[in-house]
Amino acid sequence: MTSLRQSHLTIAAPGLRRAHDGLKIAHLTDLHLGALTPNRRVTRAIELANDFRPDLVVMTGDYLCYDARGLSLVRRHLEGIEAPTFCVLGNHDHWVAPQQTRRVLEHLGYRVLQNERAALDLGGETLFIVGVDDLVTESHDIERAFSGLPESASRLVLAHVPCTVDLVGHLPPALMLAGHTHGGHVNLPFLTRRLMGRANGRYLAGLFEANGWRLFVNRGVGGAGCPIRVNAPSEVALITLRCLDGAESAARQAG
């Protein structure tokens, strides 16, 4: 069975206000509930997220694979997240059953953001979670998602497709969390990046900077098309956010 790894990251997030320095986020993506993803791997991912005791959990799309019967698996195996949880949809969700996927996630108590935002009071200040809908199916609407958002506010941006970051360079920089690529899934040196195309190959997995933004691309939990991963193990990302001033101060103290 494909292993499920915990990635512990500390990320300096542009625009993060000092009140949110140290914020803990668990990031899950590409769960692809169905025949190619063992149910136990999904429930274990939720256990790891809860064990982190995060301030919030985010899920960046592709709960389904190719079959609407996966909705019952989402209902059964994605329950139990203990922190406030915010979601966006992915291309597989849009291909199969977008409205039903949203309803199931909301039934579980999770907030689904489709070109919209939510506000969460943390540390006495508001953190805005912005959800940009899926780029593959052209469901995204950048202007609608960010409309009216205070420029000086802390924000965290969720998107399914990593190259969404290339569309937000005109906006105040922030941290974007994404998935979609599976880290290449079968990640063969040189070949996988070329086959995945210029954009997805550039943002395959891990932490990037683009247009002043920071982007983290999670390899995801499940599988679609192939049950075997090579050089791209399944991942639950456990992230601690730092404001840029706090990160610089910590670096000086460590030096």
Q: 88-111, pLDDT tens digit by residue?
A: 999 999 999 999 999 999 999 999
pLDDT of 183: 78
Q: What is the pLDDT of residues 64-94, one digit of tens each?
A: 999 999 999 999 999 999 999 999 999 999 9
Radius of gyration of the chain (CA): 17
**So what's the architecture of 4-254 in CATH?**
4-Layer Sandwich (3.60)
The answer to whether residues 244 and 14 touch, using CB atoms and an 8 Å cutoff, is yes
Three-class SS state of 177: strand
Q: Full-prediction pTM beyond 0.85?
A: yes
The residue assigned the tokens 């195309």 is 197
In the chain, % of residues over pLDDT 90 = 74
User: Which distant-in-sequence residues (6+ apart) come within 8 Å of 35 by Cβ?
Assistant: 65
Work out the angle at residue 192's Cα, subtended by the Cα atoms of residues 30 and 215, and round it to the nearest 5 degrees: 50
Residue 233 phi, psi dihedral angles, 5° rounding: -65, 150
User: Which distant-in-sequence residues (6+ apart) come within 8 Å of 190 by Cβ?
Assistant: none
Q: With bands split at pLDDT 50, 70 and 90, how would you rate the model's confidence at 255?
A: very low
Distance from C-alpha of 59 to C-alpha of 220, rounded to nearest angstrom: 10
Three-class SS state of 22: coil
Query: Which sequence spans correspond to the domains of the chain?
Result: 4-254
Q: What is the pLDDT of residues 125-171, one digit of tens each?
A: 999 999 999 999 999 999 999 999 998 899 999 999 999 999 999 99
pLDDT of 224: 76
Residue 75 phi, psi dihedral angles, 5° rounding: -60, -35
Least Cα distance to 15 among 193, 175, 252 occurs for: 175
pLDDT of 1: 44
